[in-house]
């Protein structure tokens, strides 16, 4: 039932390098595709393989210290390492925009559609307002809210990954949530 945990135990118990490599390949074959999917949903396409490699390397680097009895605990451990490695990647890329949505490109695309179908009264104003919200939005908020509410990372985990204090993370999440509510409220 706990096949992954048994593979991890066999990997750690093996003394011969070729035996350890065989177990490592089996573990990668089982966890690699799901971890790649997990990373791909959160990173740009061009960096997915690099981040995945960092995740797998960290897993095997810490494998000797891993202690659990169930596959679900092993998966949680793997996903937690993946979150930390993605946070490392995003921290290294802080100067780059986090969202790939170009506001000017959206404006040009919308104006191109106006040639065939002129906007109804107020549509152009709504577009300009939405584009202004995009410009003012804080991309780190998106990542924080996803990590906390969708990935289930707690304040302590996020603080450790981002090198901040848990209280600071809690306040940032609170502010981001307020911003998200404000933006959603304006859509109504």
What pLDDT, in 10s, does the model give residues 8-64? Answer: 999 989 999 999 999 999 999 999 999 998 888 888 888 899 999 999 999 999 888
Cα-based distances in Å from 105 to 59, 112, 116, 117: 40, 11, 18, 18
**Of 92, 113, 130, which residue sits at a domain end?**
92
Q: How many residues does the chain have?
A: 188
- Per residue in 78-87, is it b (16+ CB within 10 Å) or e — as a string? bbebbbbbbb
Cα(108)–Cα(41) distance, rounded to whole angstroms? 27
Cα(38)–Cα(35) distance, rounded to whole angstroms? 5
Model pLDDT, residue 98:
43
Residue 97 belongs to some domain of the structure? no
Q: Answer whether 85's CB lies under 8 Å from 77's CB.
A: no
The answer to whether residues 8 and 86 belong to one domain is yes
Cα(144)–Cα(169) distance, rounded to whole angstroms? 9
Q: Answer whether 71's CB lies under 8 Å from 91's CB.
A: no
Which residue is it, tokens 């940032």?
172
* Overall average pLDDT of the 139-146 stretch: 70
What percent of the chain shows pLDDT beyond 70? Answer: 77
Model pLDDT, residue 83:
86
Reported as a single tens digit per residue, the pLDDT across 25-39 is 999 999 999 999 888
Cα(188)–Cα(184) distance, rounded to whole angstroms? 7
pTM of structure: 0.53
* Contacts for 90 with CB less than 8 Å, ≥ 6 apart: 98, 143
Reported as a single tens digit per residue, the pLDDT across 63-121 is 888 887 888 888 888 988 998 898 888 777 655 444 444 556 666 766 776 677 777 77
The answer to whether residues 82 and 140 belong to one domain is no
Q: What is the CATH number of the domain that holds 7?
A: 1.10.1740.10
Reported as a single tens digit per residue, the pLDDT across 161-173 is 677 899 998 998 8
Residue 55 belongs to some domain of the structure? yes
Tokens describing residue 69: 């009895």
Cα(46)–Cα(77) distance, rounded to whole angstroms? 25
Show the domain range for 79: 3-92
């Amino acid at each position: 039932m706990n096949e992954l945990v048994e593979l991890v135990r066999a990997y750690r118990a093996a003394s011969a390098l070729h035996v350890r490599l065989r177990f490592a390949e089996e573990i990668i074959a089982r966890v690699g595709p799901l971890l790649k999917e997990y990373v791909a949903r959160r990173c740009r396409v061009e960096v997915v393989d690099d981040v995945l490699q960092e995740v797998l390397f960290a897993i095997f680097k810490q494998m000797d210290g891993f202690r659990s009895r169930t596959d679900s605990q092993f998966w949680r451990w793997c996903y937690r390492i993946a979150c930390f490695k993605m946070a490392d990647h995003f921290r290294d890329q802080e100067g780059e925009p986090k969202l790939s949505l170009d506001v000017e490109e959206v404006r040009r695309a919308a104006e191109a559609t106006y040639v065939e179908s002129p906007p109804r009264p107020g549509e152009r104003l709504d577009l300009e307002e939405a584009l202004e919200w995009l410009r003012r939005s804080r991309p780190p908020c998106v990542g924080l809210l996803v990590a906390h509410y969708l990935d289930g990372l707690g304040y302590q985990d996020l603080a450790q990954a981002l090198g901040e204090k848990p209280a600071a993370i809690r306040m940032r999440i609170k502010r981001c949530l307020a911003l998200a509510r404000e933006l959603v409220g304006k859509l109504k």
